[in-house]
Amino acid sequence: MGVFTVTDEYTSPISPARLFKALIVDSHNLIPKLMPQAVKSIEIFEGDGGAGSIRQINVVEGNQVKCSKNRVDALDLENFSYKYSLIEGDVLMDKLEKISYDVKFEPTADGGSKNTMTSTYYTKGNIVLTEEEIKEGKEKSLAMYKVVENYLMQNPEEYASLEFSSLIKNMFIRMLFASSSCKCVGLLLLLVRHGYIYMVVG
């Protein structure tokens, strides 16, 4: 099995918090809404949305790729970082075992963000991916990124702190019923730190 890594960096006028909320935490709701011609639905197949969860992306009929499954490896709500792996789907073809992604959103001095995505490809046997194949995957990811970025620029009230608190509240409730008490306490402390706790108990 071969392993190689590619890192891409983008800058945006949108803050890390808003991009993270839209692109990562609420992507299963937002992406099908913004890209109905490509994405039919995104389902949380297993888990509560946090580490270990499996998400299935269902693509609109007529596309070359029908569906794919991602495993959430890490979700850091405080530092706006996300790790996940593409573990199943037509996009892997017969060449890849999986693709792992490490995504980070960092603030910039102008109020925007610097966003880094490190992609690690795990190929089968001695297979080597071509630059064109890698470029195609990057362009699809960038296209989705730009669609969400444009939406946030046109709708500055979307995914601001108060609106987003309901998403955090729902995640807390899912963890409460599906996960250990330690995990819930950790999220509860995060809610207090960021001023969302009144929305959870209110």
38 and 134 belong to one structural domain:
yes
110 and 196 belong to one structural domain:
no
169 and 87 belong to one structural domain:
no
85 and 177 belong to one structural domain:
no
118 and 169 belong to one structural domain:
no
105 and 191 belong to one structural domain:
no
For the chain, what is the domain count? 2
* Per-residue pLDDT tens digits of the chain, which is 202 residues long: 788 899 999 999 999 999 999 999 999 999 999 999 999 999 998 988 889 999 999 988 766 678 899 999 999 998 999 999 999 988 888 889 999 999 999 999 999 999 999 999 999 988 888 888 888 888 888 899 999 999 999 999 999 864 454 455 555 555 555 555 555 555 555 554 444 443 333 3
66 and 155 belong to one structural domain:
yes
Q: Which pTM was predicted?
A: 0.77
For position 74, which CATH number holds? 3.30.530.20
Which token pair is 157?
A: 């009230």
96 and 187 belong to one structural domain:
no
β-bridge mates for residue 89, sequence order: 68
129 and 177 belong to one structural domain:
no
190 and 202 belong to one structural domain:
yes
Rounded to the nearest 10°, the torsion over CA 35, 82, 72, 161 is -70
Q: Which domain holds residue 76?
A: 2-159
- Cβ distance 43 to 28 under 8 Å? yes
66 and 153 belong to one structural domain:
yes
Which token pair is 149?
A: 């970025």
How far is C-alpha 23 from the chain's CA centre?
5
CA 110, CA 142: separation in Å to the nearest integer? 22
63 and 141 belong to one structural domain:
yes
Taking alpha carbons only, the member of 6, 10, 27, 195 closest to residue 108 is: 10
